[in-house]
Structure 1
Amino acid sequence: MANDVLDTLRKDINEIDAELLVLLAKRRRISHSVVEYKISNNKPIRDEQRELILLEKLIAYGKSLGLDSYYVNNVFQTIIEDSVLHQQAMLQQSLNPDALNETNRVAYLGGQGSYSQLACHKYFSRRAGKLVELGCDSFSKITHMVETGQADYGLLPIENTCSGSINEVYDLLQHAQVSIVGELTQSVEHCLIAQPGVELNEITKVFGHPQPFAQCSQFIQTLGEMQLAYCDSTSSAIQEALKTKNSAAIASAQAGKNAGLEVIKSAVANQPDNHSRFIVVARKAMQVSKQIPTKTTLIMATAQIAGALADALMIFKQQKINLVKLESRPVPGNPWEEVFYVDLEANLAQNNVKRALEELKEVTEYVRILGCYPSESMKAVQVINNDSLVEE
């Protein structure tokens, strides 16, 4: 009798979940119509003031239904982000019709279960065309496949909130003949996974990619004399853990489950809020609409004299361009010489950006644009209600 009651309640929940999915699909279809209006009327894709008003109303209505503010805010922040990013992708596709393909061949590091694969699915789920996955064993292989036309796009991790910049990728971009056409941020949730039945005290060897090892360095120190084995990707680490007795790998819980491994310890990263930023590269640059948030990445070299870098950076301030990242890397074969990677919140189509680049050429040894692309780093609007500040 008790089971019959539980089954009935679960059936009701399943029906409600199905109804929610139908409504979400309807909302997305309407959102697609909205972007068509915004394109024809040259309106910004994102309207943060509208988002704020909408969230305030939803939170107030949710409270009247017995739902807490934090829950309502989180649910609708996710829905709004999905809507904005889908609209941005549609606008970009309308602006770059030559880039529309029946299939998107995407090269990324590793294979099944790698964080790059998860990022690949996240980014291309918002874009037309069938996804064809091309797992690679190195970053250089990824750019080579794009350069030679074997892949339409390449996905490269560029930085992580725990371990910082991925220098190998920055160095590769100095000479790779590709253009950055997109970016995304992927949540990274590292776990220690092993074969079923293996206990933590039985593990003698841990497999992992150098980046996860760096991001989990504090946990690794607690393992004492444990042997660390470096692999070219997280998916490779999983395969090694599958065939090596009393071993483990650092990967996501889902990747471990897919491979038949179990979580020995979860949340092993140095920081609980761990994210990796990826860039998407292609052979040709794309136009980016002024209606969406845009980033431009460039590389520049300055003269080896006092104040040369300061003179270059002052140009961005004078032209009211926000610089969001500055990274220096050595020039191979030229000891003590460096190049600088610069990320700007800017669109190459803007007049102040054009002026800045012309002025930059006069005070630097050289400047090379690596890409102008839509920014997908959405910052959630903050809502203040009667109870507290609500943040995503």
Structure 2
Amino acid sequence: MELNEVREHIQQTDQQLLELLSKRRKLALAVADAKLNQNKAIRDQKREEELLLRLIEAGKPLELDAHYVTRLFHVIIEDSVLQQQAKLQGELKGMQGPSVKVAYLGGQGSYSYWATHKYFTRRAEQIVDIGCDSFNDIVKSVETGHADYAVLPIENTSSGSINEVYDILQHTRLSIVGELTHPIDHCVLGLAGTNLNQIRQICAHPQVIAQCSQFLLGLSNVKVEYCDSSSDAFQRVQQKNDPTIVAIGGEAGGKIYGLQVLASDLANQRDNVSRFIVVARKAVTVAKAIPAKTTFIMFTGQQPGALVDALTILKQHGISMAKLESRPIPGNPWEEMFYVDVFANLNDYAMTRALEELNRITKFIKVLGCYPSEDIEPTQVS
């Protein structure tokens, strides 16, 4: 066959694959209904392992190696689990609907913009974007009713925790109702025809600068200009129309503003991933069939062993901790507030008892939210 003919067959095959993936997703949602009726957990890793082993064997006569089949179906299984969780949780708390108003950092093309659409595409037919210039503005949008939800970045595998967001959570009445992780691929983006050797100024958000610090150390005579968001950086480069000025951000976002990639893979760590939380005015109840996380803050005081005693309570009740973060308490020099993420449903007996005991030995404790966990670890097969 001629090359064009082969490409045409590939296009037809790709279309068939998309149609089959759509059909499989609809069947996965039907499974969610059946699991709900039978009171079964959304995820069954034993069944996933059996499925992967069967698919690996079925792929052998088709000349599809095990690694290829496993990687492909890890993605499909993850999507099925997240789709089922979103459907079940949406029905439980009435989140699914024709439209949601969501506040996030920056404008169209920012990392928070993509994370917002990634999360809410499973949960609403239409997303009304409310771009904001600061984390405080994002939270106020929800507190005042201007937005239904807010999406906030809270930590990154390269730069660590975003302290400003942790501090805001201490004072707001909003509750965490969801989470997601989103891969972050930083690129240098400039005007068409720009050369890296021409660069004299880089526009980027402070978190982006921190995540690409090693790349920036290799540059000389380059000024860094801090921006409110990646989309703000893209806009500045576009408006200044100067080939010596570039932005650092995501490729997809930069293309919206007509910028081209000059360099990629800039992050200090190869696997650069950000975790975002979703907050709302009302707390949610997480379905028992869905793995849940609970986040709370506590002040243990400064007596010897106070933090150890608090964490021992979690251990005694079989509660696994996902994160422990300390932040200074304003007005109390050298005293710390602890933020704790645990893998537990707030309505579980063990979690209820643990909080009761923590209330007795700590000076202050506040639950920030219980929400579905989107940590979908791939099922491994030998």
With normalisation by structure 1, the TM-score equals 0.95
Q: Identify the match of residue 51 of structure 1 among 41, 48, 52.
A: 48
Q: Secondary structure at the match of 2:202?
A: strand
Q: Which residue does 1:17 correspond to in 2?
A: 14
Secondary structure, counterpart of 1:281 in structure 2: strand
Please give the residue correspondences for 1:344-363 in structure 2 after superposition, counting only pairs within 5 Å: 344-363=342-361
Query: Which segments of structure 1 move beyond 6 Å, counting only runs of 4 or more?
Result: none
Post-superposition offset of 1:56: 1.3
Q: How does 1:234-313 map to 2 (within 5 A)?
A: 234-244=230-240, 245=242, 246-313=244-311
Counterpart for residue 181 of structure 2: 185
Which secondary structure does the structure 2 equivalent of 1:174 belong to? helix
**Cross-structure match for 1:41:** 38
Secondary structure, aligned partner of 1:46: coil
Matches within 5 A, 1:1-392: 5-97=2-94, 99-244=95-240, 245=242, 246-384=244-382
Q: CA deviation at 1:60?
A: 2.0
Q: Which amino acid aligns with 2:253?
A: A
Alpha-carbon distance in structure 2 between the residues aligned to 1:362 and 1:129: 45
Tell me the alpha carbon deviations over residues 322-356 of structure 1, each in whole angstroms, 9 at most, x when there is no partner: 01110000111221121000000000111011000
Stretch of structure 1 that moved more, 145-154 or 51-60: 51-60
Flag structure 2 segments of 5+ consecutive residues without an equivalent.
Answer: none
Alpha-carbon deviation of 1:151?
0.5
SS of the residue corresponding to residue 173 of structure 1 reads helix
How far the C-alpha of 1:93 sits from its partner, in A, is 1.4
Q: Which secondary structure does the structure 2 equivalent of 1:383 belong to?
A: coil
- Deviation string, structure 1 residues 194-241 (Cα, Å, up to 9, x no partner): 111111111100000001100000000001231000001000011111
* 1:138-167 alpha-carbon deviations (Å, 9 max, x no partner): 011111011111100000000000000000
Superposition CA RMSD, Å: 1.1
CA distance in 2, matches of 1:172, 1:39: 36
TM-superposed deviation, 1:130: 1.4
TM-score, normalization by structure 2:
0.97
2:55 partner SS: helix
**Structure 1 unaligned regions, length at least 5:** 385-392
Per-residue deviation, 1:296: 0.1
SS of alignment partner, residue 312 of structure 1: helix
2:125 & 2:317 partners in 1: Cα distance? 39
SS in 1 for 2:107: coil
Maintained 8 Å contact 2:301/2:335 = no
Task: Kindly state the Cα deviation for residue 176 of structure 1 after the two structures are TM-superposed.
Answer: 1.1
Aligned mates of 2:305, 2:215 — CA distance in 1: 42
| 2:342 partner SS | strand
By how many angstroms is 1:63 displaced? 2.4
Distance 2:199 2:332 in 1: 45
What fraction of aligned residue pairs are identical, expressed as a percent?
54
Instruction: Return the alpha-carbon distance in structure 2 between the equivalents of residues 229 and 63 of structure 1.
Output: 54
Partners in 2 of 1:93 and 1:255 — Cα distance?
29
Q: For the residues of structure 2 that align with 1:63 and 1:158, how far apart are their CA atoms?
A: 43
